[in-house]
């Protein structure tokens, strides 16, 4: 019983091997005929071989040496400019910022602003006690009136030749001195009032009415936040690429997803020896007042460089010799070694003599051989309309030599 099973298994294995050989070998008919296989059993195999050859011929009529041409997808080579991106961390400052202190010491009799107020240049911020300065100003005004009256009286006497010109000149000097004394008194009185030197937003006011302040006491800070400047540092290799007015993109680290556009307003005059970096200042508009002085930013700058051929990322292959691409010209694939310059999202920039518009293989490259013909996917579909062949069943069976026995 076991012997019968082994015989049946052997026959089944031989049959399967015969079918596989028939599928892949073009000479199987002759071999099987010499072994005594009837011609009628070889007709299905012949039909299968003819259909396979017909399919291969329709798919690639230019196959060489019996090997079918590879079917591939291609894409055209374009050109792109290499981009070099510089990133740095910078801090923002108001385009103008002032810490206001009084010119004179004294007691505050009035604080005219609170934190967050918008002020214009010349607006009153605070007032110091000024009784002494007011009295001095009034006294100077009286002295000036007396000097002017005395000068006018002597001027009429000079015209009548009653007084001398020398006396008139002395009185003119006294009148001028009285005018200067009045101006001095006015200045002293004005300095008892503290005004904003710029327009902007008032910060936290650290003083109150009744406080004694000196010339070093901060009354308030005023920031002009209509624009902000961001200082950052870049490596020295970017020095030759920096120009005034160049565009920058600043992203606040505290506010993700928000970007501000600006431009370079100043470039440092020297490279720092210890860090090998150069200082750069960018000016950024702040129309909605979203940026505060002191905020940190991630600053990005893009620099355009040389132009290189750009290929689809799927077109680049690697082996032990390095990276290469398959260039298709007139239906023939040629291996071309390339040097990768930069990887972008959609393309890879390469260093090669390949021209713009050349077709490179993007899919099917594993079946491509150097110098071998290929068929582009679209061309293969259009060329798959081969004329109908006669059914192999209508062809005469191949002649099989008779065998003895």
User: 130-191: which CATH number, 2.30.30, 1.20.58, 1.10.287, 1.25.40?
Assistant: 1.10.287
pLDDT, tens digit (0-9, with 9 covering 90-100), for 222-247? 999 999 999 999 999 889 889 999 99
Sequence-separated (6 or more) residues with CB below 8 Å from residue 256:
none
Higher pLDDT, 27 or 306: 306
Sequence-separated (6 or more) residues with CB below 8 Å from residue 371:
332, 333, 334
Q: Structural domain boundaries of the chain? A: 2-59, 70-77+312-382, 130-191, 221-305
Q: How many CB atoms are closer than 10 A to CB 59?
A: 17
Rounded Cα gap, residues 3 and 62, in angstroms: 52
CATH 3.30.750.24 fits 70-77+312-382, yes or no: no
Mean pLDDT across 368-380: 83
Task: Give the CATH number of domain 221-305.
Answer: 2.40.30.170
- Assign 18 a pLDDT band (cuts: 50, 70, 90): low
Q: Does the pLDDT of residue 299 top 90, yes or no?
A: yes
- Assign 395 a pLDDT band (cuts: 50, 70, 90): very low
Residue 26, pLDDT score: 47
Rounded Cα gap, residues 353 and 403, in angstroms: 64
- Assign 33 a pLDDT band (cuts: 50, 70, 90): low
Residue 80, pLDDT score: 86
Mean pLDDT across 43-63: 46
Residue 253, pLDDT score: 87
């Amino acid at each position: 019983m076991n012997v019968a099973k082994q015989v049946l298994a052997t026959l089944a294995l031989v049959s399967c091997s015969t079918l596989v050989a028939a599928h892949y070998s073009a000479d199987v008919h002759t071999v099987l005929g010499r072994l005594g296989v009837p011609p009628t059993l070889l007709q299905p195999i012949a039909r299968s071989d003819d259909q396979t050859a017909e399919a291969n011929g329709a798919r690639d009529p230019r196959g060489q040496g019996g090997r079918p041409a590879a079917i591939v997808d291609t894409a055209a080579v374009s050109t792109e400019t290499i981009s070099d991106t510089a990133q740095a961390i910078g801090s923002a400052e108001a385009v103008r910022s002032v810490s206001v202190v009084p010119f004179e010491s004294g007691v505050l009799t009035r604080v005219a602003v609170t934190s967050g107020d918008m002020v214009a240049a010349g607006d009153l911020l605070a007032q110091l006690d000024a009784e002494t300065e007011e009295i001095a100003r009034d006294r100077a005004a009286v002295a000036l009136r007396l000097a002017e009256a005395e000068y006018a009286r002597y001027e009429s006497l000079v015209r009548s030749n009653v007084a001398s010109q020398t006396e008139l000149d002395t009185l003119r000097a006294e009148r001028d001195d009285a005018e200067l004394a009045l101006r001095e008194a006015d200045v002293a009185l004005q300095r008892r009032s503290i005004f904003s030197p710029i327009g902007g937003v008032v910060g936290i006011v650290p003083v109150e009415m009744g406080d004694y302040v000196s010339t070093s006491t901060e009354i308030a800070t005023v920031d002009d936040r209509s624009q902000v400047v961001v200082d950052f540092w870049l490596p020295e290799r970017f020095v030759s690429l920096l120009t005034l007015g160049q565009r920058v993109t600043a992203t606040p680290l505290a506010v993700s997803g928000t970007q501000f556009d600006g431009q370079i307003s100043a470039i440092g005059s020297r490279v720092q020896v210890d860090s090998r970096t150069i200082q750069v200042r960018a000016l950024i508009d702040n129309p909605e007042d979203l940026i505060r002085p002191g905020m940190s930013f991630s600053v990005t700058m893009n620099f355009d460089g040389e132009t290189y051929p750009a290929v689809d990322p799927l077109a680049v292959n690697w082996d032990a010799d390095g990276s290469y691409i398959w260039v298709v010209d007139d239906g023939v694939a040629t291996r071309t070694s390339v040097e990768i310059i930069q990887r972008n999202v959609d393309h890879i920039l390469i260093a090669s003599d390949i021209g713009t518009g050349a077709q490179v293989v993007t899919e099917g490259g594993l079946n491509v051989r150097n110098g071998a013909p290929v068929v582009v996917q679209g061309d293969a579909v259009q060329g798959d309309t081969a004329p109908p062949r006669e059914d192999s069943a209508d062809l005469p069976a191949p002649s099989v030599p008779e065998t003895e026995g």
